[in-house]
Amino acid sequence: MVDYHTANNQSAGGAQTYMEQENDWDRDLLLDPAWEKQQRKVSELDYYDAASVNTRCQKICEQWDILGSLTHRRKESLERTEKQLESIDELYLEYAKRAAPFNNWMEGAMEDLQDMFIVHNIEEIQGLISAHEQFKSTLPEANKEREAIQAIQAEVQRIAQSNGIKLSSANPYTTITPQSIDSKWEKAMAMVPQRDNALQHELNKQNSNDSLRATFAAQANSVGAYIQAKMEEIGRISIEMNGTLEDQLTNLKEYQKTILSYMPEINKLEAHHQHIQEALIFDNQYTSYTMEVCRKGCRTQSIAPVILRILIGPQKTLKACTLS
């Protein structure tokens, strides 16, 4: 079998020498008529052993004809092999031109599929999912390119096997092998469903976080509005108290009892806030109230202490009147 690289390296020197040798044989074949001329000269001289000489000359001519036939077949075989080697070389070059960018694309795709992502809301994770779906839509076209590259290598093997050409194990134009392309492709395809699962898991998480935001916001908006309304009412009560001291004291205690009965709603807000903290949620677009704001309204400027301060006045006055 003809080694591809040995023959290919000889294409400029060794193969050319082969062809030059064949051309020399073509020129030497011109000597064939000289044998026939010599044979005629022997006959003209009426040599006594002309028959023997003619027989020997005839054998030489026949052998020369056989050698000429073999030489032509050899030349045709070399020319055919030269064309086949040129075809293989062109295929190797085409393979290298297409394999390099495809290999770079696969390496980039695998890096993207393994990238860590941090998102904070549904819109961000949906953007990542959309980009991933767009990537998956290009995979059939990418697979066609991979198959086309492998078909080039298969054509090289077919030409070599059908013509008895022994190929070297490496493409002279690239180090990217068909096996490495298939291996990377399989790895990339295995990463796709893993990425699908990771994105879906994150989407579920963000949906859950959004639900927690909405639940907290509904409660916070209710509690915040309640605290603000009650603080305004207390301000008016402190200014517009009418009736006897006993009536004022009774009304304020009833008002205090009503406000204290709202504390379970504030405790419910605290529970929602605990869930928000456990989920590491730091923003909420559904409300302007934070837990800190609501706590400040309930404790620092506490409604109940404000009422107690208002109660102190009527209580002291009523006690003074009683003692007097």
Predicted confidence (pLDDT) per residue in 105-139, tens digit: 999 999 999 999 999 899 999 999 999 999 999 99
CB 310 within 8 A of CB 234: yes
Sign of torsion over alpha carbons 123, 125, 131, 137: negative
**Whole-prediction pTM value?**
0.66
Q: DSSP labels for 5-33?
A: HHHHHHTTTHHHHHHHHHHHHHHHGGGHH
Residue 23 pLDDT more than 60?
Answer: no
Residue 61 CB burial class (10 angstroms; 0-12, 13-18, ≥19): middle
CB atoms within 10 A of CB 289: 22
Is residue 168 left, alpha or beta, with left meaning phi > 0 and alpha meaning psi from -120 to 50?
Answer: beta
Q: What is the mean pLDDT of residues 148-155?
A: 95
At 8, the pLDDT band (50, 70, 90 cuts) reads very low
pLDDT tens for 83-96 read: 888 999 999 999 99
Give the residue among 175, 7, 179, 169 at the shortest CA–CA distance from 87: 7
Distance CA 51, CA 246 (A): 165
162 Cα distance to chain centroid: 39
CB 307 within 8 A of CB 253: no
User: How many Cα atoms are found within 13 Å in the side-chain-facing hemisphere of 324?
Assistant: 6
Distance CA 19, CA 83 (A): 13
Residue 253 pLDDT more than 60?
Answer: yes
CB 61 within 8 A of CB 33: no
More confident residue, 164 or 307: 164
Q: DSSP labels for 237-280?
A: HHH---S-HHHHHHHHHHHHHHHHTTHHHHHHHHHHHHHHHHTT
CA distances from 313 to 110, 245, 277, 288, 310 (A): 75, 10, 42, 36, 6
Structure letter (DSSP) for residue 88: H
Among residues of the chain, what percentage have pLDDT more than 70? 70
The rounded radius of gyration (Å) of the Cα atoms in the chain is 50
Tokens representing 16 are: 């050319």
Structure letter (DSSP) for residue 2: E
More confident residue, 137 or 17: 137
Residue 217 pLDDT more than 50?
Answer: yes
Please provide the average confidence, as pLDDT, over all residues in the chain: 79
Residue with tokens 């070059």: 93
Q: Which domains does the chain have, with CATH numbers?
A: 2-176 (1.20.58.60), 207-323 (1.20.58.60)
CB burial string 213-234: b at 16+ within 10 A, e below: bebbbebbeebbebbeebeeeb
